[in-house]
């Protein structure tokens, strides 16, 4: 690596996770090229860095090749919430496949290390619980979630084939449901939906009977895991998520108890292929990265609610 600050490319850097990562890298004194097509990202998320000498903003779509000189590529560009990735499923599949292909090509040319933001969705509707990295998943290849799930699976495959063929330096994080400030109010994810509904004094919408489970990781913990993965020797795939599991009904109760305990919970149809349960086995991340999330759901909800309250006011 050349002398001087590390040069980072963050694809999807104007999005929820990407912008928190940009903050961490900038605070660490590194250089950041933030690349985004603003499909689900917003300039407001990184406005605090515009004009900073170590920061640069690039409007670009990762499905097109690009030439840049960087040391590290954090490849996060891809819509993450079902309503957004299902808006144009063919584009989502292209973003995962071509986007990762283009970024691996760039990484190979400039000998950069590339970290792929993969997902727990590679496990699909899992028959094994909690999910360890060796579990190969249960994905419906032709369902409405497949553009995203299979897109991430082929992205992982591409990373490993570049490593085998070209010796590329890769890191793969399988990220589980993460929440926190800067989620979009209208992206349909459960934490943002419940908080926004409660702040608007509307009923909280439980899809199905709310007995399906998820495990929610606060954004600061997740970013710490990504940084440890990029800096360490373990290449992954490695699960990053909070192993504390909640039913969706329990989440709704936690949110409304903080905002307005009188709000009703309203059952709505369960979307197709909605996974019944999800909880990461984080033994590998604990051993290899010395990483364990430290923010409990009860703690992480408060700053998230504060952020949405300000956004909506
Ligand atoms: P997000 O939608 O907030 O961020 C994605 C960013 O990528 C946005 O800024 C969007 O505009 C940009 N983008 C989308 N398509 C692009 C393209 N073709 N070219 C350039 N930019 C593009 O989502 P997020 O929650 O921040 O997720 C970031 C990454 O982490 C995604 O790859 C997602 O699959 C992964 N992930 C997130 C979660 C989670 O719970 N947040 C869970 C698992 C995996
Ligand atoms: N969900 C819900 N009400 C909502 C939004 C989502 O009950 O208003 C459910 C959804 O069906 C799923 C879970 O919450 O079972 C998590 O949904 P999200 O879209 O946040 O994440 P993913 O399903 O991708 O894990």
CA quadruple 5, 10, 14, 17: dihedral positive or negative? negative
| CB of residue 206 inside a 6 A radius of ligand 2 | yes
CA–centroid distance, 249 to ligand 2, in Å, is 11
Average pLDDT of the chain is 97
| Domain range for 90 | 7-180+217-243+279-294
Domain assignment present for 304: no
Residue-wise pLDDT for 50-74, tens only, equals 999 999 999 999 999 999 999 999 9
- Residue 148 located in a structural domain: yes
User: Quick check: is 267 in a domain?
Assistant: no
Question: Is residue 4 predicted with pLDDT exceeding 90?
Answer: no
- What's the DSSP call for residue 187? S
Q: What is the CATH classification number for the domain harbouring 39?
A: 3.40.50.720
Domain count, the chain: 1
Catalytic option among 85, 101, 123, 148: 148
Query: Which residues line ligand 1 at a C-beta cut-off of 6 Å?
Result: 11-12, 14-18, 36-41, 61-63, 76-80, 95, 99, 117, 119, 175, 177-178
Cβ of 246 less than 6 Å from ligand 2? no
271: Cα separation from own chain's centroid = 21
Asked, for residue 231, whether it belongs to a domain, the answer is yes
- On whether residue 313 sits in a domain, the answer given is no
231-254 per-position pLDDT tens digit: 999 999 999 999 999 999 999 999
H-run or E-run covering 114: strand 113-119
> Can you tell me the mean pLDDT for 103-130?
97
Q: Is the CB of 160 under 6 A from ligand 2?
A: no
Peptide bond between residue 130 and the one before it cis (omega within 30 degrees of 0): yes
Query: Residue 215 in contact with residue 295, Cβ under 8 Å?
Result: no
Q: Which residues of 150-181 are buried (b: 16+ CB within 10 A; e: fewer)?
A: bbbbebbebbeebeeeeebbbbbbbbbbbbbb
Q: Is the pLDDT of residue 3 over 90?
A: no
Tell me: pLDDT of 168 over 60. Answer: yes
What is the arithmetic mean of pLDDT over 166-193? 97
Q: Is the pLDDT of residue 27 over 90?
A: yes
Within a domain: residue 199? no
Q: Evaluate whether residue 254 is within a structural domain.
A: no
Can 123 be counted among the known catalytic residues?
A: no
Instruction: Assess whether pLDDT exceeds 60 at residue 2.
Output: no
| Domain-located, residue 285 | yes
Strand pairing category for 217-218 and 178-179: parallel
Does position 275 have pLDDT exceeding 80, yes or no? Answer: yes
pLDDT value, residue 1: 53
């Amino acid at each position: 690596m050349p002398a001087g600050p590390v040069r980072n490319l963050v694809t999807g850097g104007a999005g929820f996770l990407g912008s928190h990562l940009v903050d961490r890298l900038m605070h660490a004194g590194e250089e950041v090229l933030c690349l985004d097509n603003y499909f689900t990202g917003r300039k407001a998320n990184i406005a605090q860095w515009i004009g900073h000498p170590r920061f640069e903003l690039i409007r670009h779509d990762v499905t097109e090749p690009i030439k840049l000189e960087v040391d590290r590529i954090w490849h996060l560009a891809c819509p993450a919430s079902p309503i957004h990735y299902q808006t144009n499923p063919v584009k989502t599949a292209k973003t995962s496949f071509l986007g990762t292909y283009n970024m691996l090509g760039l990484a190979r040319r400039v000998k950069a290390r590339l970290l792929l933001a993969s997902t727990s969705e590679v496990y699909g509707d899992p028959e094994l619980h909690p999910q360890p990295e060796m579990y190969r998943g249960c994905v419906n290849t032709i369902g409405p979630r497949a553009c995203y799930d299979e897109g991430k699976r082929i992205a992982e495959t591409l990373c490993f084939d570049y490593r085998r063929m070209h010796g590329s330096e890769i890191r793969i994080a399988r990220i589980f449901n993460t929440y926190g400030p800067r989620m979009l109010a209208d992206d349909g994810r459960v934490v943002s939906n419940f908080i926004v509904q409660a702040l608007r004094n509307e009923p909280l919408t439980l899809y199905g009977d709310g007995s399906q489970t998820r495990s929610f990781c606060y954004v600061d913990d997740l970013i710490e895991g990504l940084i440890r993965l990029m800096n360490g020797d373990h290449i992954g795939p490695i699960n990053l998520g909070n192993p504390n599991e909640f039913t969706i009904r329990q989440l709704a109760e936690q949110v409304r108890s903080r905002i307005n305990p009188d709000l009703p919970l309203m059952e709505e149809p369960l979307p197709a292929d909605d996974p019944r349960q999800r909880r990461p086995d984080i033994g590998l991340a604990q051993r290899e990265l010395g990483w364990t999330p430290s923010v409990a759901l009860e703690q992480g909800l408060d700053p998230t609610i504060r952020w949405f309250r300000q956004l909506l006011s």
